[in-house]
Amino acid sequence: MAKNPLISFRKAVSAVFDQNLPASRASRIVSSVIVVMILASIASVVLESEAGFRAAHNALLIDVERVATAIFSLEYLFRVWSSVDRTESRYRHPFWGRLRYMVRPVAIIDLLAVLPAFLGDYDLRVLRLLRLLRMLKLTRHSEAFAMIFAVFRKEAATVGAVLLVMAMFTVASGTIMYMLENAVQPKVFSSIPMAMWWSIITITTVGYGDMIPLTAAGKVFGAVVAVFGIGTVALFSGVLTASFMEQLRLRREEARQAIAIGLQKGRLTLRQVEEIDRIGEQLGLNESEVEDLIENMLSRKIRPNDCPHCGGDLTTPHRHIIRRSRDIHRK
């Protein structure tokens, strides 16, 4: 039975947008176009705030906004329409699957990116804000953001605990400082919420200087809060740094496993090459660095064997294995 051309086209569209699949030439082109339009749209919003530039290039700014809106609208519609063909099974239902996809945070961001076109002459400040939210669309096209989000998901409980401790200390220190300074500076430390502002600025070691304790007790307590703030920020950054390094280690291990499986037969399949390159992109590695990783594995983990291409020993570093595999599948 012949395939429905519409379904075939929908699956092809889904393959372009599905980040769980290896990147293809089409997906790279589409992603590049979208990124360029995001940057152009952000630039137009920024330049539009300059009265002189807006007066001289108003037509250009309007054209950029129309093109960007058209591209983002098509992208959103195509993503929702083809979501039933994504690799995740939870989107397979023709109605509930698409609805489930539409309530994803990234899909909501895509929707907000096209809302300015439907608001007409609404408040210009609101329109600018919504158009600047298009910056969030860049998170989908950056592996670095994906890794950062993975870190926050993994350490959500730890980060939440640190933030809870900071919130409790902010309330407590703000209350104590209010009690110490209110009598001397009734207009500055006029309430506990105002004193909490001083506490937040001191804990984060920003120190605007708009609220300064004058009493001896207030200065001593302020020093204690400042020292605690340094330790809290160090703890927070330490947790995130350790988790980020762990994510890098896990993804490098994925790359090693994918490479080891492919090298057992001496030549990599198309899927293995794409998977290795995809993991390499996530790690920020170029093709040469991936080849260095392969050489390291060959010299340490692969037993001696004859190379099917040159008859050499596979324990000797051979960059041509992955290069030859890439060349075979690119032709």
pLDDT digits (tens, 9 = 90+) for 294-311: 666 555 544 444 444 444
The residues, ordered by sequence, that sit 6+ positions from 128 with a Cβ below 8 Å of its Cβ are 45, 48, 49
Arithmetic mean of pLDDT, 41-68: 88
**What's the pLDDT band for 160 if we cut at 50, 70, 90?**
confident
**What's the pLDDT band for 273 if we cut at 50, 70, 90?**
low
Tokens of 13: 């569209």
Does residue 318 carry a pLDDT above 50? no
- The class (CATH top level) of 156-243 is mainly alpha
| pLDDT value of position 198 | 94
Arithmetic mean of pLDDT, 73-99: 92
Dihedral (CA of 116, 117, 118, 124) sign = positive
Does residue 199 carry a pLDDT above 90? yes
CA separation for the pair 284, 18 (Å, rounded):
20
Arithmetic mean of pLDDT, 1-16: 83
**8 Å CB contact between 76 and 111:** yes
Q: 77 or 112, which is more confident?
A: 77
Residue identified by tokens 């919003």 is 45
Arithmetic mean of pLDDT, 41-46: 86
Domain boundaries defined on the chain: 5-141, 156-243, 264-330
- The class (CATH top level) of 5-141 is mainly alpha
Which range has the worst mean pLDDT, 182-191, 225-234, 287-296? 287-296
- Do 5-141 and 156-243 share a fold? no
Look over the chain and give the mean of its residue pLDDT values, rounded to a whole number. 78
Tokens of 64: 């950029």
| pLDDT value of position 310 | 43
**pTM (two decimals):** 0.61
Report how far apart, in Å, the C-alpha atoms of 89 and of each of 94, 96, 100, 167, 173 are.
12, 12, 11, 40, 50
**8 Å CB contact between 276 and 262:** yes
Q: What is the tens place of the pLDDT at every residue in 87-142?
A: 888 898 999 999 999 999 888 888 888 887 777 655 556 666 777 778 778 777 66
Which range has the worst mean pLDDT, 4-18, 37-51, 89-103, 301-315? 301-315
Does residue 293 carry a pLDDT above 70? no
pLDDT more than 90, % of the chain: 29
Which range has the worst mean pLDDT, 64-73, 244-253, 316-325? 316-325
Task: Please choose, from the candidates 75, 87, 61, the residue with its C-alpha nearest in 3D space to the C-alpha of residue 141.
Answer: 75
